[in-house]
Amino acid sequence: MNKGKEIFDGFYHGLLGQLNLLSKENRKLALARAAICKQCPLLHKGRCSKHRSGKNIVTGVETQGCNCFVAAKTMSNLRQIENGGNCPLDKW
């Protein structure tokens, strides 16, 4: 996926969320993702830190964070469409 498009989409949906315009389905999905991120050791100062790493739960490969702002990342519905998500550790 185009990283710029993904980031834009995340911030766009973040804005919709702030304005209370996010669909119920996307809000539910974003909250579920955020709950997972909240427990993740890669989360640092609101980002999926590129300075931290963990084992991808599917491949078992040690993987760095993507450095995205988690609040926006969890709201991108592009990953929802592409099935499988874009969490570097494949947790969502």
Q: How many residues in total does the chain contain?
A: 92
Stretch (H or E) spanning 44: strand 43-44
* Interaction of residue 91 with ligand SF4, rule CB under 6 A: yes
Binding-residue pattern over the window 28 to 67 for ligand SF4, x denoting contact by CB under 6 A: --------xx--x-xx----x----------------x--
How many CB atoms are closer than 10 A to CB 57? 11
Least Å from the CB of residue 87 to ligand SF4: 3
* Structure tokens that stand for 86 in this block: 């874009």
- Name the site residues for ligand SF4 (rule: CB under 6 A): 36-37, 40, 42-43, 48, 65, 70, 73, 87-89, 91
